[in-house]
Amino acid sequence: MKRGLLAALSIARKDLKTELRTKESLNASASFALVILVLFSFAFDLDRESIYAISGGLLWLVYSFAGALIVNRSFARELPNDCLDVLIASPTPAWSLFLGKAIAAFFLLLIVEAISLPVFGLFYNISWTGVFWPLLLTISLATWGITVVGAAFSAVTVNVRLRELMLPVLLYPVLIPLLIGGMGMTTQLLSGNMAAADRNQYLRQLIAFDAIYTALAVYLIEFVLVV
């Protein structure tokens, strides 16, 4: 178990170094997130109360699209020179390979979110610094859900010719419960209307989604990669 976790961290470190050197997914997803936020700021002419009412939905719409761009490259970057076949044939367990990919995608998406959140607050005149810690917890839980499910479907579609189209088709329906929890929690945090019962309900929803789909992905990834 310990050796598998160390292998996962090594794979995550390797992916992060590769991506930070080339910046293929990072530049594309960050640019996409910023452009969408800027365009929506001009498209919507809403009062302050209405902006707060849609803030969570708008933010997670952008994050989920940016996340799909990042996880799409999780396994695809290993295709040149048959690197993926070498990794699968190595003594490294399949779940370690998967967790390494998911962890790397998680930190890359957090970087995109850290870049776009101040822009979101600036263009929409929304203050989020007062709820930074609960917002960070919400973003972390929802981001892990996006990346763990996205990395699993990235493994499923890695050998599909139209994987850029297939991945979102498979990913977004599964993410609906996660996004509902993330949107609701974020909206209520930013608007300041967070009741304790609602907070606990959304937190349980996010944690349950992460736990269930992480366990399923770790269990099934060996079958996916072998096939």
pLDDT digits (tens, 9 = 90+) for 136-168: 999 999 999 999 999 999 888 877 777 778 888
The neighbour count for residue 87, using CB atoms within 10 Å, is 18
Q: Are 29 and 112 in contact (CB under 8 A)?
A: yes
The reply to whether the predicted model has a pTM over 0.95 is no
CA torsion, ordered 101, 104, 190, 187, to nearest 10 deg? -10
> What torsion do the CA atoms of 102, 103, 107, 109 make, to the nearest 10 degrees?
10
> How many domains are there within the chain?
1
Residue 158 DSSP code: T
Q: Which two tokens stand for residue 167?
A: 């991945």
Residue 4 confidence (pLDDT): 72
pLDDT digits (tens, 9 = 90+) for 157-215: 877 777 778 888 889 999 999 999 999 999 888 887 766 666 788 999 999 999 999 99
Alpha helices for the chain (secondary structure H): 2-22, 24-43, 48-71, 73-76, 83-89, 94-124, 132-157, 163-191, 196-226
Per-residue CA distances from 34 to 60, 107, 115, 175 (Å): 13, 18, 8, 22
Please spell the DSSP secondary structure of 123-151, one letter per residue: HHT---GGGHHHHHHHHHHHHHHHHHHHH
| Spatial CA neighbour of 25 closest among 140, 139, 147 | 147
* Burial grade of 66 (CB within 10 A; 0-12, 13-18, 19 or more): buried
How many CB atoms within 10 Å of residue 155? 23
Range of the domain at 102: 2-226
- pLDDT recorded at residue 227: 57
Q: Tell me the pLDDT tens digit for each residue of 64-106.
A: 999 998 998 888 777 776 777 777 777 778 888 889 999 999 9
- The residue type found at 85 is D
* Contact call for residues 142 and 182 (beta carbons, < 8 A): yes
**Mean pLDDT value across the chain:** 86
